[in-house]
A and B are shown apart, each in its own frame.
Chain A
Amino acid sequence: AQSVSQHNHHVILSEAASLELGCNYSYGGTVNLFWYVQYPGQHLQLLLKYFSGDPLVKGIKGFEAEFIKSKFSFNLRKPSVQWSDTAEYFCAVNGRGTYKYIFGTGTRLKVLA
């Protein structure tokens, strides 16, 4: 079975601070990995994705994530957050050969201006 664990449920940062949100997954095979963002009042949007190749993937709005296979992790990072990054962030896994996208519980990020 697939599962995703996001360790940080609520994060509060000041503008210009660096961000790292943790994500660990469980699956006994190859995976596709995703980070989604949900801004207040908006629908879920894809932030970035990893299918194969370079384990460091870059997404929209300056976000990046690194896939570390040995740690079953796919942490999200941003060097300098902005007030507009206030949102809820979800990590998701799709095990190869399955049709399911399994999501973590989400991390609510609040950036103080």
Chain B
Amino acid sequence: SQTIHQWPATLVQPVGSPLSLECTVEGTSNPNLYWYRQAAGRGLQLLFYSVGIGQISSEVPQNLSASRPQDRQFILSSKKLLLSDSGFYLCAWSEGPHTEAFFGQGTRLTVV
């Protein structure tokens, strides 16, 4: 069966420090991969998605970037974190058209 792993679960980082959040999917090949940010009262905001290795689509211009170095690995990064980057980040995957998305456990990022 397929599983999605996202780590770390919580992270406290100082302003101006770099960020790297990792997400991996097991049990499937060539998944579509997603990064979302969840904020209270604002739902889930789609940040990036990828339909293949090296293919990244950005939905919201911001201080973050994403990369997909391997088929089942999706990384969310920042060179210099801002206070406004604090939030709950969710990774998700889907098999393609006419399928649902499956979510990881999320990472609570606090920028101090």
By a beta-carbon cutoff of 8 Å, the part of chain A in contact with chain B is 6, 9, 32, 34, 36, 43-46, 49, 51, 90, 92, 96, 99-106
Could you say which residues of chain B place their CB within 8 Å of the CB of A51? 98
* 9 A-B pairs with least C-beta separation: A105-B43, A103-B44, A44-B103, A103-B43, A106-B43, A43-B105, A101-B101, A46-B100, A51-B98
**Contact: B100 with A99, CB < 8 Å?**
no
**Contact: A44 with B90, CB < 8 Å?**
yes
**Contact: B43 with A49, CB < 8 Å?**
no
Which of A44, A90, A100 meets B49, CB within 8 Å? Answer: A100
Q: How far is the CA of A96 from the CA of B70 in the complex (A)?
A: 26
**Contacts across chains A and B counted by CB atoms under 8 Å:** 48
Q: How far is the CA of A92 from the CA of B57 in the complex (A)?
A: 19
Could you say which residues of chain A place their CB within 8 Å of the CB of B76? none
Q: How far is the CB of A21 from chain B (nearest CB, A)?
A: 13
Task: Give chain B's interface secondary structure class.
Answer: strand
Residue among B43, B90, B92, B104 having the largest count of chain A Cβ atoms under 10 Å? B43
Say yes or no: is B24 at the interface (Cβ < 8 Å to chain A): no
Q: How far is the CA of A36 from the CA of B34 in the complex (A)?
A: 16
Known: A34-B100, A43-B103, A44-B90. A90 touches B34 (CB 8 A): no
Known: A43-B105, A44-B90, A44-B103. A105 touches B42 (CB 8 A): yes
Q: How far is the CB of B6 from chain A (nearest CB, A)?
A: 9
Q: How far is the CB of B56 from chain A (nearest CB, A)?
A: 12
**Contact: B100 with A49, CB < 8 Å?**
yes
**Contact: B43 with A100, CB < 8 Å?**
no
* In the complex, per-residue mask of B79-112: 1 if CB is within 8 Å of any chain A CB, else 0: 0000000000010101001101111111000000
